[in-house]
């Protein structure tokens, strides 16, 4: 099979854009599976690679098949793979870990010393076939639709971030309503948050945030976020801050609006260093801050499955689907921000 070719979206060089090309179907080792991709989803990271920003220039070595969010069907098994079967519908954790370092050996594979990332360090899933180590495959419960499975990677980020500490009964501020922030809104509602306050500048996403159960969505370009949050919380501030934007003002507003003794989880990456008021924002408050990286392997996946089986509905997060041929339109849409998750069908 390895001499055959497949269609794949290739980052061909250090410039904007990508090309739909025919490339060889990936080879796979004894502990790998080969998966026929049905649906892939476009991540913000993919949009960065497409538009070729500074981060991409420093990290990506073209040519590269990119993409890391998908679901599909197992079509071939390495000889050492015992617990999976051809024909199974699956998705996968895209962080391939070393399984030998301190972190991997203490249940912290998400911060492995020697990780390789699907579609960044290895050939990705924007292709008809993708190679995945068997231990990274996540077999789908039949109650979970394949499109939902294709967004379990970002949903996992939201689950990891949101459920790192107590949500039930708490007033939550979510800064930034991209797909992960929107998922966080849904998870907070599901988990019994009291008031869910969010910030977002894109109207399409503001509407989605309300649809997922936000009580208030503030536009930081128009609203005074800090005073609005204080107004909603008897001047105490939000019990919880979920930071999904990486924006300096959002971060500082977020910590200003955080209640004393409250907790915060940081997922959004900042474009550079961030000037923070740590005295008033963290120290005097006795606040707790969690940095969040990826998904816990595989605690987050089990929890995510439990939430979906328990009734968490993130279907409305998928707002657009494209045939892979229309990938340019899809990427431009993602870059516009006027969307939830955008899928590419293979």
Site for a second copy contains 167 (CB under 8 A): yes
Distance CA 308, CA 337 (A): 26
User: Would you call 45 a catalytic residue per the annotation?
Assistant: yes
Which position among 14, 192, 315, 316 is part of the footprint of a second copy (CB under 8 A)?
192
SS3 call for 310 = helix
Query: Site for a second copy (CB under 8 A): which residue of 78, 303, 335, 345?
Result: 303
Residues 15, 39, 48, 97: which is the catalytic one?
A: 48
Residues 12-41 that bind a second copy (CB under 8 A): none
Rounded Cα distance between 308 and 201, Å, is 28
Please state the separation of Cα 11 from the chain's center in Å.
21
**Catalytic annotation on 161?**
no
Q: 8 forms bridges with which residues in the sheet?
A: 21, 127
Q: Which of 21, 51, 108, 345: binder of a second copy (CB under 8 A)?
A: 108
Nearest of 72, 65, 71, 70 to residue 120 by alpha carbon: 65
Catalytic residue among 12, 15, 45, 97: 45
Tokens 């079509």: give the residue.
75
Q: Which stretch binds a second copy (CB under 8 A): 7-15, 16-24, 98-106, 123-131?
A: 98-106
- Judged by CB under 8 A, the stretch of 37-45, 69-77, 122-130, 281-289 that binds a second copy is 281-289
Report the C-alpha dihedral over residues 248, 249, 253, 255, rounded to 10 degrees.
10
CB of 135 to a second copy, least distance (A): 8
Asked if 48 interacts with a second copy (CB under 8 A), we say no
Cα separation, 220 vs 266, whole angstroms: 18
Query: Running DSSP on this structure, what letter comes out for residue 211?
Result: H
- Considering only residues 41, 292, 324, 339, which one is a binding residue for a second copy as defined by CB under 8 A? 292
Cα distance between residue 216 and residue 210, in whole Å: 7
Residue 249 sits in the site that holds a second copy (CB under 8 A):
no
**In this structure, are residues 74 and 33 in contact, taking their beta carbons and an 8 Å threshold?**
yes
**Binding segment (CB under 8 A) for a second copy, from list 43-51, 143-151, 202-210, 296-304:** 296-304
Rounded Cα–Cα distance for residues 30 and 81 (Å): 7
Kindly list the residues in this chain that would bind a second copy in the complex (CB under 8 A): 83, 100, 102-103, 105-108, 110-111, 113, 163, 166-171, 190-195, 236, 251, 260-261, 266-267, 269-270, 273-279, 281-293, 296-299, 302-303, 306-307, 309-310, 312
């Amino acid at each position: 099979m390895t001499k055959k070719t497949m269609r794949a979206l290739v980052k061909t060089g250090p410039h904007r854009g990508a090309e739909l090309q025919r490339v060889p179907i990936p080879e796979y080792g004894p502990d790998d599976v080969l998966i026929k991709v049905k649906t892939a989803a476009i991540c913000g990271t993919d949009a960065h690679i497409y538009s070729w920003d500074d981060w991409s220039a420093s990290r990506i070595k073209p040519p590269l098949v990119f993409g890391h969010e998908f679901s599909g069907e197992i079509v071939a098994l390495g000889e050492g793979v015992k617990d999976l079967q051809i024909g199974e519908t699956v998705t996968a954790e895209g962080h391939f870990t070393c399984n030998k370092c301190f972190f991997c050996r203490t249940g912290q594979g998400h911060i492995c010393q020697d990780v390789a990332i699907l579609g960044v360090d290895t050939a990705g899933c924007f292709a008809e076939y993708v190679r995945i180590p068997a231990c990274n495959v996540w077999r789908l419960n039949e109650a979970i639709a394949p499109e939902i499975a294709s967004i379990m990677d970002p949903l996992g980020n939201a689950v990891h971030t949101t459920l790192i500490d107590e949500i039930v009964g708490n007033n939550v501020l979510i800064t930034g309503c991209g797909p992960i922030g929107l998922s966080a809104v849904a998870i907070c509602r599901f988990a019994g948050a009291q008031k869910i306050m969010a910030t977002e500048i894109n109207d399409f996403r503001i509407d989605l945030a309300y649809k997922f159960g936000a009580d208030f969505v503030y536009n930081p370009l128009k609203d005074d976020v800090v005073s609005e949050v204080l107004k909603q919380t008897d001047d105490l501030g939000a019990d919880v801050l979920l930071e999904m934007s990486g924006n300096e003002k959002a971060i500082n507003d977020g910590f200003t609006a955080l209640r004393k003794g409250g907790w915060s989880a940081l997922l959004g990456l900042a474009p550079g260093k961030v000037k923070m008021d740590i005295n008033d924002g963290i120290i005097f408050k006795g606040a707790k801050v969690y940095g969040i990286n990826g998904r816990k392997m595989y605690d987050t996946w089990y929890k995510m499955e439990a939430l979906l089986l328990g009734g968490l509905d993130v279907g409305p997060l998928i707002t657009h689907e494209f045939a892979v041929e229309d990938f340019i339109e899809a990427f431009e849409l993602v870059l516009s921000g006027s969307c939830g998750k955008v899928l590419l069908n293979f």
